[in-house]
Amino acid sequence: MSECGLHGLGAADLLALFGHFLLLSLLAVGGAITTAPDMHRYVVGQQHWISDDMFTASVALAQAAPGPNVLFVAVIGFNVGGLAGAAATLLGIMLPSTTLALWATRWGHSRRETLGVRAFTTGLAPLTLGLLLATGWILSDPVRGQLGAVALIATTVAVMLKTKLSPLWLVALGAVAGALGWI
């Protein structure tokens, strides 16, 4: 069996990585980012393939880059197992959710006025919010105790709730704060 990737992942490890992200895909209500806490648990805590800092940097790098939000999955996969790891994680997260989304969209569109479909879509809002809060908590772990980081997080939340300002300005503010050593 040949080994590949940054950590010498063999075929069995790549298959396990693919399988884990395949399962997470079905839980990704609100986008792949909502499953980041379990991705962290698996690749950092359980498998020890990458460090906590590398995980956070992977997410931050992909979020700063233009393109789809799901790119962070490929960056995590690349850091875990090179190109084969990126392919395993990206295919794992995309295949089930894309197939299910296509089917559910067609099914739901034809039944959009029924009570059950309306109740289901309304019920997903708090679930998505909770998953996003859990993701934010995990990603803030390296800087959570720093006063500058807490102030930046609070400012970001307040601005996003009270204005229609593009989040890119807040990302730029965070980059400047980090470059100046404030966080």
Distance of CA 84 to the CA centre of its chain: 19
Structural domain count of the chain: 1
Residue 47: inside a domain, yes or no?
yes
> Do the domain assignments include residue 2?
no
Q: Does the residue 119 lie in any domain?
A: no
Q: Which of 181, 177, 139 is nearest to 55 (CA)?
A: 139
Percentage of residues in the chain having pLDDT higher than 70: 96
Is 74 a domain residue?
A: yes
Residue 103 within any structural domain of the chain = yes
**Residue 52, domain extent:** 11-114
CA distance 43 to 98: 23
Supply 48's token pair.
């020890």
Identify the pLDDT of residue 48: 94
Looking at the domain assignment, is residue 85 inside a domain?
Answer: yes
With CA atoms as reference, report the closest residue to 1 among 75, 112, 84: 84
Contact between 46 and 55 (Cβ < 8 Å): no
C-alpha closest to that of 177 among 22, 100, 154 = 154
4 located within any domain: no
Burial label, 119 (beta-carbon count in 10 A; 0-12, 13-18, 19+): exposed
| Confidence band for 6, pLDDT divided at 50, 70 and 90 | low
Query: What confidence tens digit (pLDDT) does each residue in 18-52 have?
Result: 999 999 998 877 788 889 999 999 999 999 999 99
Average pLDDT score over residue span 41-64 = 92
pLDDT digit string, tens, across residues 103-150: 988 988 899 889 988 898 889 888 888 888 888 888 888 887 888 888
pLDDT for the residue 22: 94
Residue 75 lies in a domain: yes
How far, in Å, CA of 144 to CA of 15, rounded? 34
Is the pLDDT reported for residue 7 higher than 80? no
Mean pLDDT of 11-24: 95
